[in-house]
Structure 1
Amino acid sequence: MSKAARYRHELKYEISYLEYIPLRQRLRAVMDKDSYADTEGQYKISSLYFDNYNDKALKEKVEGAPKREKFRIRYYNGDTSFMKLEKKMKINGLCMKHSCSITKDECERLLSGDYSWMLDSGRGLIQEFYTKIISQQLRPRTMVMYTREPYIYDAGNVRVTFDMNISTGLYATDFLKGDIEGIPAPTDGRIVLEIKYDDYMPELIRDIVQVGVVRAEAFSKYAASRQYEL
């Protein structure tokens, strides 16, 4: 499970490249770079999202259901030797994420339809995922790939990220190839700014992120990547 099993505030904005540049400069002056980022302060994320044949997770997102969840498998920088299964939950605007490790071999078995190992895995999240696969008929639905530029701030446990170059892929069998060439998602080249924090956002950070930002958006990279199918 994740280290911080608690609900957090999450704000999302779509911004232009011209808004991104000065905002990044202001954040760099007061926030720390994520230790996992490269020399450019970025890393690449590859995710495989699961949904059922009725598109339960997608419909709940589009309709703005106050309580919803979705499962995904994720790895970074094309490195499939370290992968995570994640469950993201949202209740009345607050978010929580649980995660646990999953091996490449386990992922291959899961994608091939072999779930026999999951109940005896000794990992609660994988066991829960198994019950949802059976009861809700969850299956791989789409891949989402993007570049993330993250910043952290200790007070308020604030994390600010810029997600860009968002692309999608429809074939789950390609997920474990590592460096996936996807189709650009329909975002009109805009960048997704995400702000996560615990109980409060420090005034310093609040003042910075309001610059050039008009309003929060109910943006979902998963939903955007499914637009080609709708």
Structure 2
Amino acid sequence: MQFRHEHKHYINYLDYLVLRRQLKAVMQPDVNTDEAGEYHIRSLYFDNYRDVALQDKISGINHREKFRIRCYNKDFAFINLEKKSKINGLCAKIKANITKGQVEALLAHDTDWMATSSEPLVVELYSKMKSGQLRPKTIVDYKREAFVYRPGNVRVTIDRDIRTGLFSTDLFNPDLPTICAGDQQLLLEVKYDNFIPAVIADIIQLDGRRQTAFSKYAASRIYS
């Protein structure tokens, strides 16, 4: 598992316009980007009856993890199960491809197939659903612009229109009713391995921006 640096910063619309122009000049767009220069992300997060993932985030627990199912552009032909871990301020993500039919089975409480999956991550989720009572909890939708830069394995994203499906787990409903998840701000995220190249650092100017511990999942739970 590769742990990476991850920094989040609130930016205003003027920041966004300047950053977007500069990032496009030196970085490549993410492969998921559409003709408008962005893509839609929908994630279904897991938690248990004690909201352990939410409480660990709010409390700033040093070693924590969360599971989610994620799809892009409301295209349900490609779906990932992901586990995101955070230790000592560094983040790591592992993922496994799963099918729409498998997700539908999981949502219908048919999980026996998970125990014999060839994907270790699916088996791990199954174990934690049994031992820790993890269950699908809520949906988060948002739009993202993403840029990549090979040296340092840098990834810069700008997220907006972050919305929550409240108590819904209806992942495959393209018309799922959602509402804004808290204050609507633009969120800049910068991820890299061991170093961030000067050309990117100069554009981002990390020291001059207000860093935040914002969590899309935590924001989606403000009403519940």
TM-score w.r.t. the length of structure 1 is: 0.94
Q: What is the aligned partner in structure 2 of residue 63 from structure 1?
A: 59
1:160 maps to amino acid: V
Confirm or deny: 8 A CA contact 1:142 1:171 kept in the other structure: yes
Counterpart-to-counterpart distance in 2, 1:149 and 1:191: 11
Confirm or deny that 1:127 pairs with 2:123.
yes
Q: 1:119-198 to 2 correspondence within 5 Å?
A: 119-187=115-183, 189-198=184-193
1:36 aligns with 2:32: yes
Shift in Å, 1:173? 4.2
Q: 2:108 aligns with which of 106, 112, 120?
A: 112
Q: Are the counterparts in 2 of residues 86 and 100 from structure 1 also a CA contact under 8 Å?
A: yes
Does residue 209 of the first structure (1) align with residue 204 of the second (2)?
yes
C-alpha separation in 2, matches of 1:222 and 1:113: 22
**Is the Cα–Cα contact under 8 Å of residues 11 and 209 in structure 2 kept in the other structure?**
no
> Cα gap change, 1:211/1:54 in structure 2, threshold over 3 Å: closer, same or farther?
closer
Greater CA drift, 42-51 or 170-179: 170-179
Structure 1 portions without partners, runs of 5+: none
How well do the aligned residues superpose, as a CA RMSD in angstroms? 1.4
User: In 2, Cα distance between the equivalents of 1:122 and 1:148?
Assistant: 31
- 1:86, 1:179 → 2: CA distance? 24
SS in 1 for 2:68: strand
How many residue pairs match? The answer is 224
- Does the aligned pair in 1 maintain the 2:10–2:209 contact within 8 Å? no
In 2, the alpha carbon distance for the partners of 1:173 and 1:32 equals: 34
Could you say which residue in structure 2 is the equivalent of 1:222?
Answer: 217
Any idea what SS the aligned residue of 2:115 has?
coil
2:2 maps to 6
> How far did 1:39 drift?
1.4
Structure 2 alignment gaps of length 5 or more: none
Distance 1:142 1:8 in 2: 26
**Structure 1 residue runs of 4+, over 4 Å off?**
none
Aligned partner of 1:92 among 57, 69, 88: 88
2:77 matched residue in structure 1: 81
- Distance of 1:200 and 1:150 partners within structure 2: 19
Q: Which region of structure 1 is more displaced relative to structure 2, 125-134 or 212-221?
A: 212-221
